[in-house]
Chain A
Amino acid sequence: MALTKEQMAQRMARELKDGYYVNLGIGIPTLVANYVPKDIEIMLQSENGLLGMGEFPSEDQVDADLINAGKQTVTTSTGASFFDSSTSFAMIRGGHVDLTILGAFEIDQKGNIASWMIPGKLVKGMGGAMDLVAGAENIIVAMTHANKHGESKILKECTLPLTGVNCVKKVVTDLAVMELVDGKFHLLERAPGVSVDEIKEKTQADLVINDNVIEIQI
């Protein structure tokens, strides 16, 4: 069975390390915050000017002046700080954020990512995504492996306008966990009940099948 969004978030949460500063994109990446292992301490960065994003507020804590980059009302966590947008992106551009997890339409074996624009459809803007992929030390992409027609979204070369080049290191999909090394995706883990053959079939990019592809534990 393909992983659900929640299960993908659970798997991605294992990429978090003690002491990390992390930026989570909108969508599936946001769910990762629900599965931070109990034995580690991390801090979430929200690019609108908050380091130390906490959980959603209770009714009486709602504050119009305290939102995240998805424009949702939030709270602060212990040790939080506020700053302006240019400081926030200096933090990102300067490589201080340890890990960025974000969604994508397509990725390719050159490490390129396309996530902000589908020609012919309304373009709403890239927000902070281009800055994040250019600035983070480590980027993990969260996406479905194939589109609803079963066509691979993990390609030899992206077809959509790019968000950034040569930046993707790892991808967690609903079918697999793969790492990009020297221009090839290496299959590390597969979703329970999903065969290596199915993953091969749904991966257009060059794929290396490691000897022991383990089953993702949920």
Chain B
Amino acid sequence: MAGLNKVVSNYEEALAGISDNMLLMVGGFGLCGIPEGLIQKVCDTGVKGLTCISNNAGVDGFGLGKLLEKRQIKTMIGSYVGENKLFEELFLSGEMEVILTPQGTLAEKIRATGAGIPAFYTATGYGTKIAEGKETKKFGDRFYVLEEAYPKADFSLVKAHIADTQGNLIFNKTANNFNQVIATAGKITVAEVEKIVPAGELDPDQIHVPGIYVNRVIQGKFEKRIEKRTVRSN
């Protein structure tokens, strides 16, 4: 009986059931807080035709950039995707579809997905290209755009600092970013973490993602590459 124990022992098990043309949501902001090992495993499985929802698309050779290299992504949905050259090529040649979405709208759409809210109104993007073809409505003296939630992801891949064996998650600093909402929006949510502790060891007051949202937990190994290392001169 596995009971509520979510811990899996290898990446094979962590991504069991992944196949072509699936919808994936992947946590992280730039290279901060990305599930590095899970992305590598998606790359190794060679699944293709993926739709990826992620704020960014990694850099050349790292993060989701790895999936771009192997042409595994058919559609990329994010708010800022241009930190790598290959992305540019795939985008301009039309080989990959790109749906740019304002960052707050992206986060809220994912949150709505996890919370069972089919759509919501937001002022973001009213009067811009983003609102073209979408329903708008006036509330008070302002116009708002109707934005729909996404379907639940086949796999939500997130990175957390600490998990307990039941899948309760705690993030570290700004490595939380999109991970918290993406964890709620998967049919199968897999958390790759720096440390796993026995259930009962985490302070219930400090948990960011309750274990109900998390299906699998795997101990990861992280390079934690820094995109823009900026230091002050003394």
Residues from chain A with a CB closer than 8 A to the CB of B79 are: 125-128
CB of B100 within 8 A of CB of A125, answer: yes
CB of B108 within 8 A of CB of A127, answer: no
Tell whether A71 pairs with B32 under 8 Å between CB atoms, given A82-B173, A134-B124. Answer: yes
B116 at the interface (CB under 8 A from A): no
Residues from chain B with a CB closer than 8 A to the CB of A202 are: none
CB of A135 within 8 A of CB of B128, answer: no
Contact residue among A71, A74, A134 (Cβ-Cβ distance under 8 Å from B122): A134
Residues from chain B with a CB closer than 8 A to the CB of A125 are: 78-82, 100
The 8 A CB mask of A46-60 against B (1 = contact, 0 = none) is 111110000111110
8 Å CB contacts to B: which residues of A41-87? 46-50, 55-59, 62-74, 82-86
A205 at the interface (CB under 8 A from B): no
Residues from chain B with a CB closer than 8 A to the CB of A123 are: 82, 100
B112 CB to nearest A CB, Å:
9
CB of A126 within 8 A of CB of B110, answer: no
B91 at the interface (CB under 8 A from A): yes
CB of A86 within 8 A of CB of B108, answer: yes
CB of A93 within 8 A of CB of B124, answer: yes
8 Å CB contacts to B: which residues of A118-142? 122-131, 134-135
Tell whether A66 pairs with B173 under 8 Å between CB atoms, given A73-B230, A122-B88. Answer: yes
CB of A85 within 8 A of CB of B102, answer: no
B229 at the interface (CB under 8 A from A): yes
CB of B177 within 8 A of CB of A49, answer: yes
Contact residue among A67, A117, A163 (Cβ-Cβ distance under 8 Å from B174): A67
CB of B128 within 8 A of CB of A164, answer: yes
Tell whether A128 pairs with B103 under 8 Å between CB atoms, given A84-B177, A84-B178. Answer: yes
The size bracket of the interface on A is 35 or more
Complex: chain A residue closest to B184, CB-CB: A86
Residues from chain A with a CB closer than 8 A to the CB of B174 are: 46, 48-50, 65-68, 82
Complex: chain B residue closest to A59, CB-CB: B231
B111 at the interface (CB under 8 A from A): yes
The size bracket of the interface on B is 35 or more
A35 at the interface (CB under 8 A from B): no
CB of A161 within 8 A of CB of B128, answer: yes
Contact residue among A63, A72, A112, A134 (Cβ-Cβ distance under 8 Å from B228): A72
CB of B226 within 8 A of CB of A62, answer: yes
8 Å CB contacts to A: which residues of B178-215? 178-181, 208
8 Å CB contacts to B: which residues of A175-202? none
Task: Report the bound CA distance from A69 to B161 in whole Å.
Answer: 20
Complex: chain B residue closest to A130, CB-CB: B102
CB of A56 within 8 A of CB of B177, answer: no
B107 at the interface (CB under 8 A from A): yes
Tell whether A57 pairs with B224 under 8 Å between CB atoms, given A84-B178, A88-B107, A126-B100. Answer: no
B72 at the interface (CB under 8 A from A): no
Tell whether A56 pairs with B122 under 8 Å between CB atoms, given A50-B174, A83-B176, A84-B176. Answer: no
Interface of B with A (CB < 8 Å)? Answer: 29-33, 55, 78-82, 88, 91-92, 100, 102-108, 110-111, 122-130, 161, 171-181, 208, 224-232, 234
CB pairs A–B below 8 angstroms (13 shown)? A58-B232, A65-B173, A65-B174, A67-B29, A72-B230, A73-B228, A85-B103, A85-B176, A89-B107, A93-B108, A124-B81, A125-B82, A131-B105
Interface of A with B (CB < 8 Å)? Answer: 46-50, 55-59, 62-74, 82-86, 88-90, 92-93, 112, 117, 122-131, 134-135, 161-166
The 5 closest A-B pairs by CB, nearest first: A124-B82, A89-B104, A131-B104, A165-B127, A84-B180
